[in-house]
Structure 1
Amino acid sequence: MSSFLSSTANITHSSRLPKGTTRAQALSMLSDYEFFLSCDPHLDKFERIADPAGSLDSAPSVPDSVKSQLRRSSSSSPDPVPTPTCYRVTDIVHAIPAGIWDTNVVSTYEFTDIKDGLFVRIRSPLSIVMDTFWQIREVEGEDGLLELVEDVNIQCSRLLIGLVKSQCENGWAKIHAKMISRLEEEGKTGSG
């Protein structure tokens, strides 16, 4: 795709986490990939896949910009760069103009744990790629209060950028709400 035909968009959303939520609880929630996928308001089904390379333009790998942010094990020797954990995800998307996609959109999600959260690369039909950093950060000026920050970079055709951006804008609040609800429940039961 030439740069004349492609476009990018950046979106950031943030939500305060329930008071008393620990960084460990929030990171554990983000690393629960199946729970993460269940937060998608358009989700129809998903399955873990061992080797999605045959269905992608390139094999899944951790981008160089993410490698320095990897969440490492506590051992003294550095872990090798992991291969992302991959899922095939089917979403039902009704806002797509007829003929561009079916209403069932099958994408590949690549998950990589990072120090402050999770990096997710989503590869969808028509050369759509979304790179998202989900991070747990301290709220400035609020001692001990944490927030969930979602930074999305969308890369796709100029013809589709508005549609993809709209889907992100229309779904983020439901995704964050389900994550916050889980953390509230963990706070009540003392689990996590």
Structure 2
Amino acid sequence: MSPPRRLHHPQQNPLPPRLTKPAALAALHNHDQFLSADPHLTSYKRLSAPGEVSGDYASYQVPASIVPIAAADGDQVKVYEVHDHVPNPVWSSDVTSVEEFVDCADGVWVRVRSPLGIVLETTWNKNGTAEEEEEEATLELVQTCECRCNRLLASICKGQIEKGWREVHQKLIQGMLGDGSGGDKDGKTAGGGAAAAAVAAPTATVAA
């Protein structure tokens, strides 16, 4: 069996000048709205914890660089079962993934576990110093994505990520501005999910 391949895909988009950092972060921490940015999403639901972890924070093996903020319900990791319809030549078009969300002070970290051993970890965040923020520097939506997969699937995964990130960013920014239609708590959405389906697990930050 071929060893796993790691793909790195940093992407960033400037945010509209009228958009504040608190509004951008609130949108990233709204998982229903975040999931609704996936153009391939058909449905999703909240899970208590996936079968391979015990449910405590340490068992998720979140990277040490990710520092969670306190959660109102006590769950620092939110887990969702996400269903996407993604036409492709290799696996079934109907894809079920498990996605783990960790809210951070500057954004959100997401791990997506998809069929065929595909694991996507993404960070969406806000970069910049306190001095830059005081000067109202332009905010950016920064996505840092690492995909681990079989070498035979690397080109397909890379193509899916590169094809879909602009639409995902656009939908996230629309949601931040209140122009999007986010999902509801029952997982019935008007849009798509956290990233481009079976090969998208983003960490996002809002950066100045």
Q: TM-score, normalized by length of structure 1? A: 0.79
Rounded Cα–Cα distance in structure 1 between residues aligned with 2:9 and 2:79: 23
Rounded Cα–Cα distance in structure 2 between residues aligned with 1:45 and 1:185: 22
> Which secondary structure state, in structure 2, belongs to the residue aligned with residue 70 of structure 1?
coil
CA 131–173 in structure 1, closer or farther in 2 if over 3 Å, else same: same
Q: Are 1:162 and 2:155 an aligned pair?
A: yes
Deviations 1:52-96 (A, max 9, x none): 22xx5x5561514244x22247xxxxxx8x541010001111023
Q: Name the residue aligned to 1:65.
A: 64
Q: After TM superposition, list the pairs within 5 Å mapping 1:1-192 onto structure 2.
A: 4-53=2-51, 56=52, 58=53, 61-67=60-66, 69-72=67-70, 82-97=75-90, 101-138=91-128, 143-185=136-178
Q: Bigger relative contact order, structure 1 or 2, given CA contacts below 8 A and separation 6+?
A: 2
**Contact map agreement 1:129 1:156 (CA 8 A) in 2:** yes
Amino acid of the residue matched to residue 147 of structure 1? E
**Amino-acid identity (%):** 32
Gap runs ≥5 in structure 2: 180-208
Gap runs ≥5 in structure 1: 74-79, 187-192
**Contact map agreement 1:48 1:86 (CA 8 A) in 2:** yes
Q: TM-score, normalized by length of structure 2? A: 0.73
Shift of residue 184, structure 1, vs aligned partner? 3.0
Q: Report runs of 4+ in structure 1 exceeding 3 Å deviation.
A: 138-143
**Contact map agreement 1:138 1:145 (CA 8 A) in 2:** no
Amino acid of the residue matched to residue 120 of structure 1? V
Count, aligned residues: 171
Shift of residue 114, structure 1, vs aligned partner? 1.2
CA 62–34 in structure 1, closer or farther in 2 if over 3 Å, else same: farther
